[in-house]
Amino acid sequence: KDDRRLGFSAIDSGKYMHRIMELYVQKRMETGKYVPADKNETEAEINAITEQYINQIMPEKPSKRLEKLIGRLKNAALFVCDSINNEFSCSGFVPIGFEVKIGTGGVAAPLLTTQKGRKVTTVGYIDRLDSALINGKRYIRVADYKSSTHSFNSREVENGEKMQMLSYLFSYCDAAEDGAVPAGVLYRSFTLPDGEEYGSQTGLVLDEPYVRSAMDSTGVHIKKAEKASAERIEQLKEQVY
C-alpha cells in the first residue's frame, strides 16, 4: 500500500481520539447520569467506533504499518476511557455538552476592544462541558483533550498565554441565564502516563472544599491542577477580558 495515499496524519489521530471521547462519553450519559462501562464493553465500543472512523477516511485496507499505529491509538483510547470512567465514578460533575461552540452561531461571547482599538471576540469549541449543582448553584467545568502532555500555570495567563480555555469557560458562564459559576478547566492528555499518574489532569480548579470534593472525591484526578480562590479566578477573568 502507498502510505502517503492511505496516510493517518497527526490531525487524523487527534480527530480520531476526540471522536472516541465524544461518542463514548455520550453513550455513558444515555440515562441522564454517567454509567461507567467495564473494560470489555469499553474495548468493544472503541473497536466499533474505530472501524467506522477508519472506513470513512480510508476506503482501502490500511497497511500493516498504519494498522500498528491504529492499534496504539486504540490502546491509548482504552486507557483514557477507563480513566474517565474512574473519574466520573467519584465525581458529582456530569457531562452536559460536547463540541460546544463558542462565538458566532453558538454561545454568545463578549466583544472586546484591544489597546489598538481593534474589536475581537472568542470563537472556538469546547471539547466537553461538565456541570454540577452544589448548594443551589450551578458550577461549570471545561475539559480539553490534548494529544500530548500539557502544563498550566496561571502566571502564563497574566502574560497573555494559555487563555483559550479560560475564555471559553468565562464566555459560557457569562452567557448562562442561571448564574453559572466557573469551577475550572482541566486538560486531559492522550499520552499514556506512568502508573502513578493514572488519570491525573492539569489545569485550574476553584479552591472551595465542596467544589473540589464534588469534582473528585479522591483527589487523584485533580491533584496536578492548580487550585485558585474565587478572587483569583476573577482576577484571571479580568486578564482574559
pLDDT in tens, 110-122: 676 666 677 777 7
Which has more confidence, 219 or 234? 234
Which has more confidence, 86 or 111? 86
Residue 162 in grid coordinates: 494559555
C-beta atoms surrounding 218 within 10 Å: 14
Give me the count of residues in the chain.
241
In this model, does residue 5 exceed pLDDT 60?
A: no
pLDDT of residue 106: 79
Which has more confidence, 13 or 233? 233
pLDDT bin (cut points 50, 70, 90) of residue 107 is confident
What rounded mean pLDDT belongs to the chain?
A: 84
Question: Degrees (nearest 5) of the Cα angle 107, 151, 228?
Answer: 65
Percent of the residues in the chain that have a pLDDT greater than 70, as a whole number: 88
CB-facing half-sphere around the CA of 1: CA atoms within 13 A: 16
| Distance in angstroms (rounded) separating the CA atoms of residues 152 and 100 | 22
**C-beta separation of 193 from 213 below 8 A:** no
- Coil, strand or helix: which one is 236? helix
| Distance in angstroms (rounded) separating the CA atoms of residues 69 and 72 | 5
Residues 2-14 have a mean pLDDT of: 57
**C-beta separation of 78 from 57 below 8 A:** no
Residue 148 in grid coordinates: 500530548
In this model, does residue 2 exceed pLDDT 50?
A: no
C-beta atoms surrounding 35 within 10 Å: 13
Give me Rg for the CA atoms of the chain: 19
CB-facing half-sphere around the CA of 138: CA atoms within 13 A: 15
Start-to-end CA span in the chain (Å): 51
Which has more confidence, 89 or 196? 89
pLDDT of residue 58: 73
Most confident of 10-14, 87-91, 105-109, 198-202: 87-91
| Distance in angstroms (rounded) separating the CA atoms of residues 175 and 170 | 8
